[in-house]
């Protein structure tokens, strides 16, 4: 280095009483030229530039492995318990088989039981035949769309003094007008397609609390 080379710097630091545990020298000069001086100064590693990555890593690892390190006692923090996922019986209404398959894949490891319906009319029939904790209702479907199916379910619940089952609308349109239309039909919440796994599970759990 200009002004003061590495050897001179080490000599200066030692002269000031500084304890140098490990010294690794990087130089473009051959080690043979500086062998005696390196030994006198206690240089433990001497690398010729340009230094290859593998060579540098090996030398650093070798140097560190020879240094005694006072390791503090490790205190393991308690592992927080995983949140409990409550079992749910779900009526999944969607005319697209791929969409139904995707949602099935999302929840296959969870304690959920899913009954499928391909359109709103089938959804109403299956809803009246069993008890569900929540309904995932696609909006755009043949025969009977999600809005009409939701209105029909709400009317049947009222006529039979049934508790209102949470209904989550599934739609490709996230615009306010569409969301308002779903809520006006009787849906409790709304999810935009494509539905994300984490969002779906969080919504299912929160809406059924």
In this prediction, residues 174-203 reach a mean pLDDT of 90
Tokens representing 12 are 């200066």
59 is a domain residue:
yes
User: Residue 182: CB partners within 8 Å, gap ≥ 6?
Assistant: 139, 146, 147, 150, 169, 171, 190
Is the pLDDT at 184 greater than 80? The verdict is yes
pLDDT at 151: 97
What is the tens place of the pLDDT at every residue in 51-74?
Answer: 788 778 877 777 766 655 544 454
Higher pLDDT, 75 or 187: 187
Tell me: do 58 and 153 sit in the same domain: no
Tell me: do 139 and 193 sit in the same domain: yes
pTM, entire model = 0.61
Residue range(s) defining the domain that contains residue 203: 88-207
At 98, which helix (H) or strand (E)?
helix 97-106
102 is a domain residue:
yes
Do 63 and 86 touch, CB atoms closer than 8 A? Answer: no
Distance from C-alpha of 5 to C-alpha of 2, rounded to nearest angstrom: 7
- Which of 4-8, 74-78, 86-90, 200-204 shows the lowest mean pLDDT across its residues? 74-78
What is the tens place of the pLDDT at every residue in 11-59?
Answer: 888 788 877 777 777 777 665 666 677 777 777 677 777 778 877 887 7
Distance of CA 52 to the CA centre of its chain: 36
Last residue of a domain, one of 15, 34, 65: 65
In this prediction, residues 142-147 reach a mean pLDDT of 94
Average pLDDT over all residues of the chain:
84
Is the pLDDT at 166 greater than 70? The verdict is yes
Distance from C-alpha of 107 to C-alpha of 64, rounded to nearest angstrom: 48
In this prediction, residues 179-185 reach a mean pLDDT of 93
In this prediction, residues 101-113 reach a mean pLDDT of 93
70 is a domain residue:
no
Question: Structurally, how many domains does the chain consist of?
Answer: 2
């Amino acid at each position: 280095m200009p002004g003061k080379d590495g050897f001179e710097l080490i000599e200066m630091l030692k002269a000031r009483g500084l304890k140098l545990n490990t010294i690794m020298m990087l130089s473009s000069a051959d080690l043979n030229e500086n062998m005696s001086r390196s030994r006198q100064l206690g240089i433990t590693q001497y690398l010729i530039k340009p230094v290859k990555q593998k060579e540098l890593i090996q030398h650093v690892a070798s140097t560190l492995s020879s240094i005694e390190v006072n390791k503090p006692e490790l205190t393991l923090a308690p592992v927080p318990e995983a949140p409990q996922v409550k079992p749910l019986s779900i009526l999944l209404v969607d005319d697209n088989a791929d969409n139904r398959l995707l949602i099935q894949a999302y929840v296959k490891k969870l304690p959920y039981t899913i009954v499928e319906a391909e359109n709103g009319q089938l959804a109403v029939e299956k809803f009246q035949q069993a008890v569900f904790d929540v309904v995932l209702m696609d909006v755009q479907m043949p025969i009977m769309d999600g809005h009409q199916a939701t209105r029909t379910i709400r009317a049947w619940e009222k006529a039979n003094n049934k508790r209102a089952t949470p209904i989550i609308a599934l739609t490709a349109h996230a615009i306010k007008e569409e969301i308002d239309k779903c809520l006006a039909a009787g849906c409790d919440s709304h999810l935009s397609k494509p539905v994300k796994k984490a969002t779906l599970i969080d919504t299912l759990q929160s809406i059924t609390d």
